[in-house]
């Protein structure tokens, strides 16, 4: 038995070392369109892309336990990458990357691939323009929204990143109070994903919802069926904090894993993902905002409005740094 194991493991090493023209991706962002993108990369460079997808937490554990297998860790949230930074290494510093990505959306260890905004959706027949004027994330805790707001659970990473950015800008104490205000404004106990929040507003369960931008475009596209397309037309997007720092932005990003066996290939892939061709593919399939200049978002996203002020002052690296604090204040406030 031992000999067999030895033989098999020897075989693994031989293969592992010989077939080195590949790159190993652990992806928590597993759209079919991403796979098509990897196929394009392989066709172009001859580098084989290996993917294992899953939920971010489990992937992170496996990256650590397996050690020396993963090259890139791809997620749909900066908070994840930030929290995982001790297991990432520097090296994403080529001039291609630096010119493509604004500095608040990258560190040497990880870079943004696409952007999304977390915004407010409202029902135009029940929420007046006057009510919305000057709306900020901070003012969502205002008692005038009592019983009118839906937002998903506190274990959701998008919420954790939003709250982390609020803590960075307002301090933990204020945000702890704010969380309590949010909980008392909720129209229902948090449940479902972002799309379910938007649908709740369409269905009249609530007047305003907090959700990411691409969900509305996805529903408007008809890919979720005619009913949801019609429902999506009943809500309107609103971009908060236009009077001060701008709307909360988050990223889909890629991190370079410590001990990556194919570091060069990984960097090549990241550079490819930031090319015009790849960015066009991403925005047209996932309805995110492009990371690089000179590529237009999907027309449905353009229709939601592009002339809003993005928060470019709060570095996304804070989402990871303040994640534990965010979870703590939300839990303490009874945010399920």
Residue 137 makes CB contacts below 8 A (sequence gap 6+) with 162, 166, 240, 241, 248
Q: Of the listed pieces 53-61, 129-137, 243-251, 295-303, which binds other proteins according to CB under 8 A?
A: 53-61
**Judged by CB under 8 A, does residue 9 bind other proteins?**
yes
Q: What are phi and psi of 114, to 5 degrees?
A: -150, 160
Q: Of the listed pieces 64-72, 177-185, 235-243, 303-311, which binds other proteins according to CB under 8 A?
A: 64-72
Q: Among 18, 32, 143, 307, which residue interacts with other proteins (rule: CB under 8 A)? A: 32
Q: Among 60, 71, 288, 311, which residue interacts with other proteins (rule: CB under 8 A)? A: 60
As a whole number of angstroms, the distance between CA 239 and CA 247 comes to 6
DSSP characters for 273-319?
HTSHHHHHHHHHHH--EESSTT-PPPHHHHHH-S-SPB--SS-THHH
Q: Which residues of 67-90 are buried (b: 16+ CB within 10 A; e: fewer)?
A: eebbbbbbbbbbbbbbbbbebbee
Q: Among 45, 93, 136, 193, which residue interacts with other proteins (rule: CB under 8 A)? A: 193
How far the first Cα of the chain sits from its last, in Å, is: 51
**Judged by CB under 8 A, does residue 321 bind other proteins?**
no
**Judged by CB under 8 A, does residue 325 bind other proteins?**
no
**Judged by CB under 8 A, does residue 44 bind other proteins?**
no
Residue among 198 and 295 whose Cβ is closer to other proteins: 198
**Judged by CB under 8 A, does residue 171 bind other proteins?**
no
**Judged by CB under 8 A, does residue 65 bind other proteins?**
yes
Q: Among 40, 174, 224, 236, which residue interacts with other proteins (rule: CB under 8 A)? A: 224
**Judged by CB under 8 A, does residue 62 bind other proteins?**
yes
* Alpha helix segments (H runs only) across the chain: 2-18, 32-45, 56-66, 78-83, 95-100, 129-132, 157-170, 172-185, 194-202, 213-220, 226-232, 263-273, 276-286, 299-304, 317-321, 323-332
**Judged by CB under 8 A, does residue 21 bind other proteins?**
no
Site residues for other proteins per CB under 8 A = 5-6, 8-9, 12-13, 16, 24, 30-32, 50-55, 57-58, 60-62, 65-69, 153, 155, 189, 191-196, 199-200, 202-205, 215, 223-225, 227-228, 230-231, 327-328, 331-332
């Amino acid at each position: 038995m031992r000999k067999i194991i030895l033989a098999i493991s020897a075989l693994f090493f031989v293969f592992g070392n010989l077939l080195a023209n590949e790159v190993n991706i652990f992806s928590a962002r597993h759209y079919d369109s991403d796979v098509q993108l990897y196929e394009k990369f392989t066709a172009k460079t001859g580098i084989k892309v290996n993917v294992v997808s899953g939920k971010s937490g489990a992937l992170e554990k496996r990256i650590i336990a397996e050690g020396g297998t993963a090259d890139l860790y791809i997620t749909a949230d900066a908070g994840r990458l930030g929290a995982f930074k001790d297991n990432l290494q520097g090296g994403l510093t080529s001039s291609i990357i630096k010119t493509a990505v604004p500095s608040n959306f990258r560190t040497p260890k990880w870079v943004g691939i696409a952007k999304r905004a977390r915004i407010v959706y409202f029902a135009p027949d029940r929420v007046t323009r006057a009510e919305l004027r000057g709306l900020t994330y901070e003012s969502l805790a205002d008692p005038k929204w009592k019983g009118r707001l839906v937002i998903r659970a506190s274990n959701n990473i998008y919420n954790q990143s939003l709250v982390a950015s609020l803590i960075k800008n307002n301090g933990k104490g204020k945000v702890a109070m704010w969380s309590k205000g949010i909980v008392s404004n909720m129209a229902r106990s948090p449940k479902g994903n972002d799309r379910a929040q938007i649908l709740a507003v369409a269905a009249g369960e609530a007047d305003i919802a907090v959700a990411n931008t691409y969900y509305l475009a996805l529903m408007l596209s008809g890919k979720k069926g005619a009913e949801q397309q019609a429902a999506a037309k009943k809500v309107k997007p609103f971009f908060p904090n236009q009077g001060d720092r701008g709307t909360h932005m988050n990223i889909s990003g890629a991190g370079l894993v410590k001990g990556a066996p194919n570091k060069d290939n990984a960097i090549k892939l990241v550079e490819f993902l930031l090319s015009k061709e790849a960015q066009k593919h991403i925005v047209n399939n996932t309805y995110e905002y492009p990371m690089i200049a000179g590529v237009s978002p999907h027309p449905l996203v353009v229709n939601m409005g592009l002339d809003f002020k993005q928060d470019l002052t709060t570095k996304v690296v804070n989402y990871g740094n303040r994640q534990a604090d965010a979870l703590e204040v939300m839990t303490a406030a009874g945010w399920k």
